[in-house]
Structure 1
Amino acid sequence: MKTIITLLLILLNSVNLSAQELTGKQLLDKSIQYHDPTGAWNTFNAEFTVRMKTPTASDRLSDIIINIPEEYFSVTAVRDTIKTVYTINKGVCNTNIAKDAPKQNRTPCETAALYKNYYTYLYGLPMKLKDEGTIISETVTKRTFKGKEYLVLQVNYTQKVGSDVWFFYFDPATYAMEVYQFFKGDPEAEGANTGEYILLTEEVLINKIKMPKNRAWYYNKDDGYLGTDILE
């Protein structure tokens, strides 16, 4: 029995040591291997539906098409009786917006580009962290968040891409991405009390990629609940 316990301790210690010795890029690669084991993201071509639930408004149902090889993106969103359609096909924008849709500060094509970047980035994670302009920290840290210990990867971006500072939380056993968090600048300085964190629960297999079914959004500053995106 003593020998078995000793072996178990050695194995556990070796797992912990391995996690501590991971570089940021190695951790990212392990997470990509978990979520996209066949490398399907680069040829992703699928349609899926996202229901957005918020505490202050009725649900918004969005039918989304992402076809990376054909450079095609489309989102058809319906809330109450209002329907909007935004499409970008090889860089060419087309929109169809209901007359009673809320007015926006952006042009329709600026909104289309915003939706394309938003949905492609979030549903392409963690694979999108391989994109140009992404700065992966070489240091992997351990952090307890909501009672669970994670391997945490800090990600910054070049000035051209953006100034937000992101943290991605991975399960130390499977390397599944379970939380991410961003700040509007350095969280120890001007970014303090800014940004949000997102809790990921359950999984759905789309185009051979394990994607989170639920994304629940909260403010960093006070844990205020913003809403949940649900894959249907």
Structure 2
Amino acid sequence: MKYLTLVIVAIISFLPASAQELSANQLLEKAINYHDPNGNWARFNGTLHVTMETPNTSNRKSKIIINLPEDYFYVKAKRDTITTEYTVKTTDCSITLNGKTNLNEAQLKANNLSCERAKMYKNYYTYLYGLPMKLKDKGTIIHDKVERKTFKGKTYLVLKVSYEKSVGSDVWFFYFNPETYAMEVYQFFKTDDKGELQSDSGEYILLTETTVINDIKMPKNRAWYYNKDGKYLGTDILKN
């Protein structure tokens, strides 16, 4: 019996980790190890070229520079005849419209340009292209239980993530391949005044193919859909 027990233990020790119980933090570490095996995100300094395709609208092409050590962010976006540029360096911000920097209030308002919007873009691109590493950021609450869910006919290991009030009120779910730990889907929901999840709110994002930038595996395609009815919203395509 003792010999049989040892054999069983030995077999179990060689089973893939997904066949055993993983804690939320263990799953996150495995996912980060897949996407950023050399820990490069913390010192990321690179350029992303992203094309956004949306139904019934011209494509928007963006050049994005993220330099985390220098706390520098730049995005140049072109759609039709309009080109906007935002630069954020620490707390300083600059705005350019079709090559012009001396913009009056009417021009800024008419084109929905502001430093608040510049910082929103910085947070947006840094967060999404920094996943899953960004889930280690302060203010992120990783829920203990790892769930196994089927989404679009495929089984995933799922992390539930919420945030401290000072960071945000949305609830996110991150879907990882149970064999490779690659992040393949994420989904977010709004919450009501009581902090309860609103099931008909938010969106889900399907991630397909991979582009490697600075040794970090990033999703090439991010296709966005409404949770409530599955309506397709658009796709961000990483062109690097």
The separation in 1 between residues aligned to 2:198 and 2:13, in whole angstroms, is: 37
The separation in 2 between residues aligned to 1:210 and 1:223, in whole angstroms, is: 27
Indicate the SS of the match to 1:200.
Answer: strand
How far the C-alpha of 1:89 sits from its partner, in A, is 1.0
Q: Tell me whether 74-83 or 177-186 shows the greater mean CA deviation.
A: 177-186
The aligned amino acid for 1:204 is T
The aligned amino acid for 2:85 is V
The separation in 2 between residues aligned to 1:55 and 1:102, in whole angstroms, is: 25
Are the aligned partners of 2:53 and 2:59 in contact in 1 as well (CA < 8 Å)?
Answer: yes
TM-score, structure 2 normalization: 0.86
Are the aligned partners of 1:38 and 1:208 in contact in 2 as well (CA < 8 Å)?
Answer: yes
Match of 2:33 in 1: 33
Match of 1:4 in 2: none
Q: Does 1:116 align with 2:99?
A: no
How far the C-alpha of 1:140 sits from its partner, in A, is 0.2
- Alignment length, in residue pairs? 221
The separation in 2 between residues aligned to 1:84 and 1:101, in whole angstroms, is: 11
Indicate the SS of the match to 2:169.
Answer: coil
Among residues 120, 131, 154, which one is paired with 2:160 in the alignment?
A: 154
Match of 1:78 in 2: 78
What is the RMSD of the two structures over their aligned residues, measured on CA atoms? Answer: 2.3
Match of 1:204 in 2: 211
Give the alignment of 1:137-176 within 5 angstroms. 137-176=143-182
Match of 1:90 in 2: 90
Q: Does 1:69 align with 2:75?
A: no
- Between structure 1 and structure 2, the one with the greater Rg is 2
TM-score, structure 1 normalization: 0.89
How far the C-alpha of 1:21 sits from its partner, in A, is 1.5
The separation in 2 between residues aligned to 1:27 and 1:102, in whole angstroms, is: 45
The separation in 2 between residues aligned to 1:125 and 1:36, in whole angstroms, is: 10
How far the C-alpha of 1:102 sits from its partner, in A, is 7.8
Match of 2:3 in 1: none
Match of 1:103 in 2: 110
Q: Cα deviation per residue 1:91-122 (whole Å; 9 max; x = unaligned)?
A: 210111248788366x5100100000000000
How far the C-alpha of 1:30 sits from its partner, in A, is 0.3
Q: Cα deviation per residue 1:112-170 (whole Å; 9 max; x = unaligned)?
A: 00000000000000000000000001110000000000000000000000110000000
Q: Cα deviation per residue 1:16-60 (whole Å; 9 max; x = unaligned)?
A: 7x5451111110000000000000000100011000000021000
Q: Percent identity among equivalent residues?
A: 61
Match of 1:224 in 2: 231
Runs of 5+ in structure 2 lacking a partner? 1-7
The aligned amino acid for 2:211 is V
